[in-house]
C-alpha cells in the first residue's frame, strides 16, 4: 500500500498528546498518537502515579478530515496505583477525547447524533457515509437507546415546550435548563396532569419559559403559583408574525391589480364579450369569406389534419355533444 504524507497540526489533540506519525490513502487517514504526560490519577483514590505498568493500543474513529474516514491510533498507558490502601492496583490512562472502551471520539458521537435527529437511522448512516463517517443504522439506534436524561431537582429556571415524536399522532413534553439549554426531562404526552406530577418534585423552580399552551400555564399556576411565566423568543416572534398578518389583512384590499409593473389605483374595466344569437340579423354586417383558401398564385391550399378522425369514438361523442348544445 502506498502512503502519502499528510500535513496535520500536531496540536490536534492538545498539548498532552504527541502525533508521531500519520498515513493517508485514497479513502482513509490514520493518525498515530501517544501521551506525553507520563503520569495519571487513580480513578478510585485520586492518587497520582508515574509508575508505568504496561501499554496497549486503541483505534478510535474521529471526525473525518478531507472527507476521508479518519482513525486515531493511541498508545494508552497503564499505571500502578502507589497507594497501598487503595483497592485498585492498576488503572488505565484517561483520554480527553474519548471515554473508556469507546471506538469513536466524543466529538464524532455528537456529530452522529446531531445529524440523525433530522433523518432516519438508515438515512443518517448513508449521509454520514458520504462525508467519511462509518456508522451503521443499528449503531445509531443503540447510541440513542443508551442516552440517559439526568433530572435535576435543584434547578430554578426551566423551559417547557411540546415536541412531536410522530407528527400528528404522538407528542411529548420537553423540559430543559434555561442556563445552558440541556435537556433534563422528556415527559410522555403534552397534557397538564403529566407536567403537574413532575413539578411536584421541583418546587425550587422560580422561572418558566413556555409556549402558549394553556395546559402548561394552568399546571404551573396550580403547583407553583409564585413562579414567573414568560414566553420564549420563538413564540414571541410567532405572536408578532400573526399580529402583523392580521394588520396587513385588515389594511390591504382583497384584490390588487398590477399593470406594466405598477399597482393600479382602481380595478380595470372588464372586457365585454360579444354575445349574438346565431339567427340574429346582426351577423349580416360582418363580411365572412367562406371560400376555400388559395395562395398568391391561385393554387388551392390543402390542410391535412392527421389528428382529426371523424370515425374515432371521441370525435363521434364530440359531434353528438355539439348537436345537443346547439338545440
Weakest-pLDDT range from 24-38, 117-131, 170-184: 170-184
113 within some domain: yes
* 87 half-sphere exposure, CB direction, 13 A CA radius: 1
- Residue 296 inside a domain? The answer is no
Neighbours of 14 (CB within 10 A): 9
**In the chain, beta strands by DSSP E:** 17-24, 28-35, 40-41, 48-49, 52-65, 68-80, 90-92, 157-166, 170-177, 183-188, 207-210, 228-231, 258-259, 262-263
- Cα(20)–Cα(32) distance, integer angstroms: 6
Q: Is residue 166 part of a domain?
A: yes
Number of domains in the chain: 3
Domain-located, residue 322? no
Range name among 4-13, 15-24, 54-63, 250-259 with the lowest pLDDT average = 4-13
What whole-number distance in Å separates Cα of residue 16 and Cα of residue 95? Answer: 10
Same domain for 130 and 74, yes or no, is: no
pTM over 0.85: no
Which of 235, 267, 301 is the C-terminal boundary of a domain? 235
- Mapped onto helix, strand or coil, the DSSP state of residue 163 is strand
Q: How far apart are CA 30 and CA 249, in angstroms?
A: 61
Boundary of a domain, candidates 120, 145, 170: 145
Q: Tell me, yes or no, whether 170 and 114 share the same domain.
A: no
Q: Which three cell numbers stand for residue 271?
A: 372586457
Span 57-85, average pLDDT: 91
Question: Do residue 96 and residue 118 come from a single domain?
Answer: no
Both 65 and 138 in one domain: the answer is no
Same domain, 135 and 166: no
Taking the C-alpha atoms of residue 292 and residue 290, their distance in angstroms, rounded to an integer, is 7
Q: Cα-Cα-Cα-Cα dihedral of 247, 251, 256, 261, to 10°?
A: -80
The mean pLDDT value for 225-232 works out to 85
- Assess contact for 245 and 237: CB atoms under 8 A: no
Within a domain: residue 265? no
CATH of residue 172: 3.30.420.10
* pLDDT attached to residue 61: 95
Q: Is the pLDDT of residue 207 over 80?
A: yes
Note whether 71 and 131 are same-domain residues.
Answer: no
For residues 95 and 173, state if they share a domain.
Answer: no
Residue 113 shares a structural domain with residue 52: no
pLDDT of amino acid 169:
78
Give residue 168's domain range: 157-235
Amino acid at each position: 500500500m502506498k502512503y502519502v504524507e499528510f500535513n496535520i497540526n500536531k496540536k490536534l489533540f492538545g498539548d498532552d498528546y504527541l502525533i508521531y506519525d500519520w498515513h493517508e490513502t485514497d479513502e482513509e487517514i490514520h493518525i498515530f498518537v501517544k501521551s506525553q504526560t507520563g503520569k495519571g490519577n487513580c480513578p478510585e483514590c485520586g492518587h497520582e502515579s508515574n509508575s508505568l505498568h504496561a501499554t496497549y493500543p486503541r483505534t478510535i474513529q474521529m471526525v473525518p478530515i478531507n472527507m476521508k474516514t479518519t482513525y486515531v491510533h493511541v498508545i494508552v498507558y497503564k499505571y500502578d496505583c502507589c497507594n497501598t490502601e487503595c483497592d485498585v492496583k492498576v488503572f488505565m490512562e484517561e483520554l480527553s477525547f474519548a471515554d473508556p472502551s469507546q471506538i469513536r471520539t466524543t466529538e464524532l458521537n455528537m456529530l452522529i447524533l446531531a445529524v440523525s435527529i433530522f433523518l432516519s437511522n438508515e438515512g443518517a448512516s448513508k449521509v454520514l457515509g458520504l462525508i467519511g463517517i462509518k456508522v451503521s443504522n443499528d449503531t445509531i439506534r443503540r447510541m440513542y437507546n443508551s442516552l440517559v436524561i439526568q433530572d435535576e431537582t435543584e434547578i430554578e429556571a426551566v423551559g417547557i415546550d411540546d415536541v412531536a415524536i410522530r407528527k400528528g399522532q404522538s407528542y411529548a413534553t420537553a423540559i430543559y435548563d434555561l442556563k445552558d439549554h440541556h435537556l433534563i426531562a422528556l415527559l410522555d404526552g403534552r397534557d397538564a396532569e403529566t407536567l403537574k406530577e413532575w413539578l411536584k418534585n421541583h418546587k425550587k423552580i422560580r422561572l418558566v419559559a413556555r409556549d402558549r399552551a394553556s395546559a402548561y400555564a394552568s399546571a404551573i399556576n396550580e403547583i407553583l403559583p409564585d413562579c414567573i411565566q414568560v414566553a420564549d423568543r420563538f413564540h414571541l416572534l410567532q405572536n408578532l408574525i400573526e399580529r402583523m398578518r392580521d394588520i396587513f389583512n385588515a389594511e390591504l384590499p382583497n384584490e390588487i391589480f398590477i399593470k406594466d409593473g405598477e399597482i393600479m389605483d382602481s380595478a380595470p374595466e372588464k372586457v365585454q364579450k360579444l354575445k349574438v344569437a346565431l339567427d340574429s340579423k346582426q351577423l349580416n354586417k360582418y363580411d365572412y369569406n367562406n371560400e376555400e383558401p388559395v395562395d398568391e398564385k391561385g393554387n388551392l391550399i390543402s390542410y391535412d389534419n392527421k389528428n382529426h378522425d371523424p370515425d374515432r369514438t371521441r370525435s363521434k361523442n364530440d359531434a353528438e355533444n355539439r348537436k345537443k348544445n346547439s338545440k
